Amino acid sequence: MEFISTRGGQKVSCASEAIAKGLATDGGLFVPAYFPNVKDKLESILDMDYAETAAFVLSQYLTEYDYDDLLLACQKAYDRFDSDSAAPIVKIDDKLFIMELFHGPTLAFKDVALMLLPYLLRKGCDNCGIKEEILILVATSGDTGKAALEGFKNQPGIKVMVYYPSEGVSDMQKLLMTTQEGENLSVTAVKGNFDDCQSAVKTIFSSNEIKERLLKENVVLSSANSINFGRLAPQIAYYFSAYADLVNAEEIKFGEEVDFCVPTGNFGNILAGYYAKMMGLPIGKLVCASNKNNVLTDFFATGKYDINREFYKTTSPSMDILISSNLERLVFEMSGRNFEVTKQRMNDLSKSKEYTVSDIERVKISKQFLAGYCDEKNCVSTIKNFFDEYGYTLDPHTSVAVTVADRFMDELNNPMVILSTASPYKFPESVYKALTGKVDTDAFNASKKLEYTTAEPVPEQISELKEKTVKFTKVVEKEDICDTVFEFIQK
């Protein structure tokens, strides 16, 4: 299958090349030339386990990958999860379900893609004849960084550099990254927010001068952020898995629609659901849930994407994002795949910090999506009330989604699946305070108290952190990110 840039300047012949490059040379994002329709094959997924479902979905796009190798890679990736399924469904109430995406090695939904991406990237480079060392640059709002570090650690021929906002992640998220072992890794804190990290990384990808300098060092760039189709594609699979689980549990009849509510900042997680729907999965509405940084909510309401606003640090830091990169892919689709219009809008966003879609496009978007946001007060109260009513502990990001989903439940008649994106133990201080009203600023003490309060054991990944040594302490200005790249590869 061919892949094209959302900005029209590049077309590649296969997924391997799109995954290896990460970002198009014109700064656009790679999208498939068309959406494969699997509606007539949907019943077959009812008999598949998670790895088989993932291989089935991926094979529709990664047509040059050997299917048996792809299936084996999926099996190896998801054997690292502590659940029979990488994305188990929990029934909460009549027509309300939670899909738990935090059973991987780093306790966050990013594991679903990033435990598989090393295979996709290495195989993609091999398919393209790329022999140079691969340097992966990652901007993270908390979870992608650790998942990328864990997935790529000690992978031959690959180095990974992670950049995170110095004051924009939880203590546990920071520790998970800065104590990471692996000889091919680098972790750097940036004075700024996630958007600063992401913009700097994108600038490096778009610079021919930097890429030429790297090539002289026998290094080529790639990405593990969801701007890379190889990161996005595995996430499509868990929508199919959720649907099959509901049918097999006799919660729905085959062919009935299901709605999904997704807490999102960079828009990749919910875009994967849109791709699943375009492939023929019976999805009704996709509900976009934002925290106090509600730029997406305003966009869906008005058609204007405007980042000329205050940036808030919240208790759901992985959603503290104003520039939602993957929205570009949706805007491209809603414009009728108009390259020039998409390119102009992204230029407007870069220069004036805003762009507006047409009324026709806004109507098209509203047929697929609903959107809402949750402030800090409601996030806290939902964690408390949900635990009191159902005995289920939400992390702050999932709490945002539960709050937003509740507002739409009366007007939507389909079953609702809420995507739970992280373990509450990645944010123990916030969750413990929400449940008890008590404050403990020590993350490990808060974890122990949270375990006592909820009777849910502290995950081993968290408890063992206390004994680990912090390896990465560098903090830089956002303007100096490029310098750290060459310092790392020349070591």
pLDDT score for 33 = 96
Geometric angle at alpha carbon 444, from 440 and 445, rounded to 5°: 45
pLDDT score for 202 = 87
243-252 own/partner pairs: CB under 8 Å, 24+ apart: 243/45, 243/281, 243/282, 244/45, 244/46, 244/48, 244/53, 245/85, 245/88, 245/89, 246/89, 246/97, 246/415, 246/417, 247/46, 248/46, 249/89, 249/91, 251/91, 251/97, 251/415, 252/415
Give me the count of residues in the chain. 491
As a whole-number percent, the residues of the chain with pLDDT over 90 amount to 91
Average pLDDT over residues 447-460: 97
Average pLDDT over residues 454-471: 95
SS3 (DSSP) at 355: strand
pLDDT score for 15 = 97
HSE-CB for 196 with a 13 A CA cutoff = 18
Residue 58 lies in a domain: no
Q: Which amino acid type is present at position 237?
A: A
Residue 433 lies in a domain: yes
As a whole-number percent, the residues of the chain with pLDDT over 70 amount to 100
State how beta strands 133-139 and 185-191 pair: unpaired
pLDDT score for 256 = 98
| In the predicted structure, residue 65 carries a pLDDT above the cut 90 | yes
| In the predicted structure, residue 10 carries a pLDDT above the cut 90 | no
**Cβ within 8 Å of residue 427, ≥6 positions away:** 170, 172, 315, 316, 395, 396
pLDDT score for 268 = 95
Q: At 443, which helix (H) or strand (E)?
A: helix 443-454
Q: What is the CATH number of the domain that holds 279?
A: 3.40.50.1100
CA 314 to chain centre: 18
pLDDT score for 301 = 96
Longest CA–CA separation in the chain, Å: 60
Geometric angle at alpha carbon 100, from 72 and 185, rounded to 5°: 60
Residue 99 lies in a domain: yes
pLDDT score for 225 = 86
Average pLDDT over residues 341-356: 97
How does pLDDT run across 82-130, given as a tens digit for each residue?
999 999 999 999 999 999 999 999 999 999 999 999 999 999 999 999 9
How does pLDDT run across 125-159, given as a tens digit for each residue?
999 999 899 999 999 988 899 999 999 999 999 99
Geometric angle at alpha carbon 157, from 152 and 163, rounded to 5°: 45
Tally the domains of the chain. 1
CA atoms of 232 and 58, how far apart (whole Å)? 10
pLDDT score for 287 = 98
pLDDT score for 338 = 96
State how beta strands 304-306 and 354-356 pair: antiparallel
Expressed as residue numbers, the domain containing 447 is 87-106+230-460
How does pLDDT run across 160-187, given as a tens digit for each residue?
999 999 988 999 999 999 999 999 999 9
Average pLDDT over residues 319-334: 96
pLDDT score for 330 = 98
| In the predicted structure, residue 206 carries a pLDDT above the cut 90 | no
CA atoms of 132 and 111, how far apart (whole Å)? 26
| In the predicted structure, residue 9 carries a pLDDT above the cut 80 | no
| Integer CA distances (angstroms), 390 to 84, 92, 97, 382, in order | 23, 7, 12, 11
How does pLDDT run across 379-396, given as a tens digit for each residue?
999 999 999 999 999 999
Task: For residue 54, name the pLDDT band (cuts at 50, 70, 90).
Answer: very high
Average pLDDT over residues 448-475: 96
CA atoms of 455 and 489, how far apart (whole Å)? 46
Residue 474 lies in a domain: no
Residue 120 lies in a domain: no
Question: What average pLDDT is seen over the chain?
Answer: 95
CA nearest to 61, candidates 70, 73, 52 = 70
Supply the DSSP symbol for 394. Answer: P
**What pTM was computed for the model?**
0.95
Residue 317 lies in a domain: yes
Residues annotated as catalytic are 110
How does pLDDT run across 227-249, given as a tens digit for each residue?
999 999 999 999 999 999 999 99
Residue 175 lies in a domain: no
Residue 278 lies in a domain: yes
SS3 (DSSP) at 439: coil
